[in-house]
């Protein structure tokens, strides 16, 4: 789009330019609404993104039977045992 000096334009030209801008913005708005409608048709399940989480077998077990798969934050029971000086490897499930 060519650059124009707005200060040199007369009122009639400025109004025509304004109308062209409004039309272009309306086209963009309609296009974006169509894209949003397509996304809504896909559904909320796919809009979550990413891969669906899978269950992972437990990797660590406490003496009382509590388990942890080794993913995410360490459970409180494991943190407490580690503070007491135990090694993480001592809780591995073989």
∠ CA 70-63-53, nearest 5°, is 25
Within a domain: residue 53?
no
Count: domains in the chain: 2
User: Is residue 52 a part of any domain in this protein?
Assistant: no
Residue 30 counted as domain residue: yes
Residue 76 host element (H or E): helix 76-83
What CA–CA distance (Å, rounded) separates 94 from 91? 9
pLDDT tens, 35-46?
Answer: 888 887 776 655
If you average pLDDT over residues 49-69, what whole number do you get? 87
**Residue 41, pLDDT score:** 75
Residue 1 lies in a domain: no
State whether 13 and 42 are in the same domain: yes
> Are 43 and 64 within one domain?
no
- Strand ranges (E), 1-94: 60-61, 67-68
Q: Is there a domain that residue 84 lies in?
A: yes
Are residues 40 and 16 part of one domain? Answer: yes
| pLDDT > 70: percent of the chain | 89
Residue 35, in any domain of the structure: yes
Average pLDDT over residues 64-87: 93
Evaluate whether residue 83 is within a structural domain.
yes
Q: Is 40 in the same domain as 66?
A: no
Q: Provide the pLDDT for residue 70.
A: 92
Domain that holds residue 86: 60-91
Say if residue 4's pLDDT is above 90: no
* Contact (CB, 8 A) for 37 and 27: no
- What pLDDT score was predicted for residue 83? 95
């Amino acid at each position: 789009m060519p650059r124009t000096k707005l200060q040199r334009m007369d009122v009639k030209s400025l109004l025509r330019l304004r109308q062209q801008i409004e039309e272009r913005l309306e086209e963009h708005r309609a296009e974006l609404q169509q894209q949003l409608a397509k996304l809504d048709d896909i559904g909320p399940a796919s809009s979550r993104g990413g891969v669906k989480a899978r269950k992972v077998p437990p990797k660590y077990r406490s003496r009382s039977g509590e388990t942890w798969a080794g993913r995410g934050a360490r459970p409180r029971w494991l943190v407490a045992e580690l503070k007491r000086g135990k090694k993480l490897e001592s809780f591995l499930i073989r």
